[in-house]
């Protein structure tokens, strides 16, 4: 990484972890999943898809990217042995 990472305060880590691990009720989940997509969200998704398909124009290139990303992720995961 070329840019130095900033240290995150432990209180913020605890708050983010609590939010990430919070269990949603069925009603909360359904409301979130069924919320309509905004125009801004749709434009961002379209932009990301456009970039990705230009960066990886063929199915072969996309598959190689996915394989490389999976290898990189597996290398970062702690060993279970």
- Return the residue matching tokens 């898809």: 49
Domain boundary assignment for the chain: 39-81
What's the whole-model pTM score?
0.56
Confidence at residue 57, expressed as pLDDT on a 0 to 100 scale: 97
The tens digit of pLDDT for each residue in 24-50 reads 999 999 999 999 999 999 999 999 999
The CA-based angle 74-71-48, given to 5 degrees, is 105
């Amino acid at each position: 990484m070329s840019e130095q990472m900033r240290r995150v305060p432990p209180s913020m880590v605890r708050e983010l972890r609590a939010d990430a691990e919070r269990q949603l009720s069925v009603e909360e989940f359904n409301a979130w999943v069924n919320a309509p997509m905004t125009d801004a969200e749709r434009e961002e998704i379209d932009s990301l898809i456009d970039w990705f398909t230009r960066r990886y124009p063929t199915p072969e290139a996309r598959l190689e990217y996915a394989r490389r990303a999976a290898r990189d992720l597996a290398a970062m995961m702690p060993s279970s042995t």
